[in-house]
Structure formats: C-alpha cells, structure tokens
Amino acid sequence: MTTRRDLMTGSLAASVAMAAAPKPPKRSVIDEYDPANIKLSHRMPIRGMSDDDLLFLQQIGIRWARIEFGEEASYDYMKATVERLARFNMKIYSAVHPAYRNTDVQLGRPRRDQVIQTYCTFLEDCGRLGIPVSNYDWHPANTYTTAEILSARRYRAREFKLSDFRSKVEKQAFEREYSAEDIWGTYTYFMKAVLPVAEKANVKLALHPDDPPLARMNGVAKLFVHFDGYKRAEQIAGSSRHWGLTFCIGTWSEGGDQMGKDVFEMIRDFGGRGKILDVHFRNVSAPLPHFVETFPDDGYMDMYQVMKALRQVKFNGTAVPDHVPGLAGDSGIRRAGTAYCIACMRSLLRRANEEAG
C-alpha cells in the first residue's frame, strides 16, 4: 500500500528529475510580417503570372513580392497589382521598372532625360502605394550566361564559362567602346536626378552588382564588380538613407577572392550600417572563370552561414531565390524549383533565428 510518505518522496524525486532534465530549445516562430525579421520573397514578372501561380506561391508561404513591372506600369496598373496580390495575402516589398535599363540612360544619349522622368514617375507611384524599395542595376551590354546545362545533380541551370564568352560570344555591342569613367558619368547623372525623387517619395534605391563581375564586357566597362565600386557609389549618394544594395550572394560568390571584400565582410560592412535592402539568395559551383548557378544547398558557399550573418547584423529586408534552376517537369515560374528554394531558405532562416536571435 502506498503511504503518504511514499507519495511525498516520489513527488520530490520527480521534481528533482524534472529540474535536472535539459529544457527543450526555444523554437523561433517565423513571422515574415515582423519588421525585425528577414522576409522571404519571390521575383514575379506579374504580367505573365496567372492566379493559379499566385495561389501556388501563397501555398508555399510567400507573403512578400518583388514585382518586375513592364512599360505598362502606370499608377492604376500598379494599384491594381497591389490589390490583386492582397487577395493572396501578399504585399509588394520591392519593384522594378525597365526605364533604368534603357541604353539612352545608361550610355548617356540625348533622350535620357525623357526616360529618367518615366523612372521618377514610377518612384513617385511606388511611394503613393507604400512600396518601400526599387531595384536597379547598371550594366549595359551585359552577358549573363554562356549556356544552360544539366548540373551534376541533373537539374537545369545557367552556366558561365569565361573562355566561351571571350571566344564565342563577346562582341562590340555599340557604336563605340565605353570606358569606366564614361559609365561612372552616366550613373552619377542618373543618381543625381532620381535620388531626390526617391527621398521625397520615401522609396529606397537598391543597386545590384554586375553579374558576372567582369570589369569589361562587349566593349563596355562595368562598375560594380568590386567593393571599391560600391564604395564610390555610396559616396555619390552621400548621406542619403535612401540608397543601398541589392546584395546578390551569387554574383559576389562568382568573384571569389577578387571582390575586395568577401560575402561575409560585405554583410558586416553594408549590412551592419543598414545599407543592404534586398538579398538575392543564390549559390554557385565555384568562382570565375567557370561557374554553374545552383540551388542554395548545392554550391561552394555555405548559405547557412550567409543567413546567420544576415541575422547577426539584423537585416530585415527580403531574401529571394534567384535564377531558380529547373527540376523535372518545371516550366513557367518553375514551381518545383521555387518550392525547393523557399523550403531550403525557410529552414536556414529558422535555424539562424534560433542561433542569432
């Protein structure tokens, strides 16, 4: 028969055992609407996306969007896009308008003021709609890839081989060659015109590095192939809080030890000062002269350490899968490849939140 003393002794022993047992680790909850957290997002060429595509993205947990608008991006069209995405519980974090890519702008031709005004109107419309970031790059005459191949794991991916580019692809793209100072002149002109508009609209400008990071392609110099290029661009922007980076992990990894600062040093520098606005979360097989774009878990860069470094500097912008490889049966927005990337990123983010807070 169990006595009162036995019960008390048993209860005491159980309490001691419970106190001695290790506590389960605290699980972080990923809330992508928490302003302190990284926001998982996806690049969407909205014109070609069906409601079924948007439903798929909602189902895999996408709640933020980078929208790649076309020339049709009037205020009414953009507002309708905001409302359409809201039906799928998504918000636009960043947006792209093709006006900045116009060679009249990037090469300094006479018509550039007219095209720049189109971009300024777009920034004003972003501000009216509460879209906080506009992405842009500055590499006219660029060649992104030399082939699409089957990777070692037999998914479809983009390849760049420098020897093939130089021998089979490269040509003078325009009527003359353009030096680095030529392109710095056009970039500076653009920035002086659009940055005050962005500041007034409260929209941040996020500058993508040159992909691949080669100093010259097709007769045109490229600027953002090294830490020094970003440093000079920041000096042009001055103390503005509305200038920053679209930091492409894949592009920076392509450059390897030729970039002046590695991926983690860039995160600590620019990310530590709140200058990284958006991240393209892509891996590659190796640095130049030959690389294949890969899924996050299949390249040479440790993408968990990248995610952790971003959390350590309290980065709270969006991270998007970039140049998603194609899996069997993929077409269009590459649903299987996209789902694979987002699942991988979400698991890395959860673990990084647990370690870095």
pLDDT by residue (tens digit) across 68-91?
A: 999 989 999 999 999 999 999 999
Per-residue pLDDT for 29 more than 60? no
The DSSP symbol for 140 reads: T
Per-residue pLDDT for 48 more than 80? yes
Cα distances (angstroms) measured from residue 317 to each of 90, 196, 292: 15, 22, 27
Going by C-alpha positions, the residue among 284, 338, 39, 48 that lies closest to residue 158 is 284
The pLDDT of residue 327 is 96
Per-residue pLDDT for 138 more than 80? yes
More reliable by pLDDT, 27 or 209: 209
DSSP labels for 213-250? --SEETTEE-S-SSHHHHHHHHHHHTT-TTEEEEEEHH
Per-residue pLDDT for 194 more than 80? yes
Per-residue pLDDT for 339 more than 50? yes
Helix ranges restricted to H, the chain: 4-20, 51-59, 75-86, 103-106, 112-129, 162-164, 180-201, 227-237, 249-255, 263-269, 303-312, 335-356
The predicted model gives 122-132 an average pLDDT of: 98
What is the pLDDT of the chain when averaged over all its residues? 93
Per-residue pLDDT for 357 more than 80? no
- Distance, in Å, from the CA atom of 218 to the CA atom of 123, rounded to the nearest integer, reads 30
The predicted model gives 333-344 an average pLDDT of: 96
Percent of the chain with pLDDT over 90: 87
The number of distinct structural domains making up the chain is 1
Please report whether residue 341 resides in a domain: yes
3-state secondary structure of 150: strand
Please report whether residue 6 resides in a domain: no
Per-residue pLDDT for 19 more than 70? no
The predicted model gives 18-43 an average pLDDT of: 72
The pLDDT of residue 142 is 96
Please report whether residue 180 resides in a domain: yes
| Band (34; pLDDT cuts 50, 70, 90) | confident
Please report whether residue 11 resides in a domain: no
Per-residue pLDDT for 4 more than 60? no
Model pLDDT for residues 215-232, shown as the tens digit of each residue: 999 999 999 999 999 999
Please report whether residue 120 resides in a domain: yes
Strands 156-161 and 147-150, bridge-based pairing: antiparallel
The pLDDT of residue 23 is 63
The pLDDT of residue 185 is 98
Beta-carbon-side half-sphere exposure of residue 92 (alpha carbons within 13 Å): 29
| Band (11; pLDDT cuts 50, 70, 90) | low
The predicted model gives 24-53 an average pLDDT of: 81
Please report whether residue 301 resides in a domain: yes
- Distance, in Å, from the CA atom of 174 to the CA atom of 216, rounded to the nearest integer, reads 13
Burial class of residue 290, CB neighbours in 10 A (0-12, 13-18, 19+): middle
- Distance, in Å, from the CA atom of 249 to the CA atom of 61, rounded to the nearest integer, reads 22
Instruction: Return the CATH number at 119.
Output: 3.20.20.150
| Band (33; pLDDT cuts 50, 70, 90) | confident
- Distance, in Å, from the CA atom of 22 to the CA atom of 163, rounded to the nearest integer, reads 57
Please report whether residue 42 resides in a domain: yes
| Band (7; pLDDT cuts 50, 70, 90) | very low
Per-residue pLDDT for 123 more than 80? yes
Question: How many residues comprise the chain?
Answer: 357
Please report whether residue 96 resides in a domain: yes
Instruction: Tell me which residue has tokens 């299987």.
Output: 336
Domain that holds residue 312: 31-356
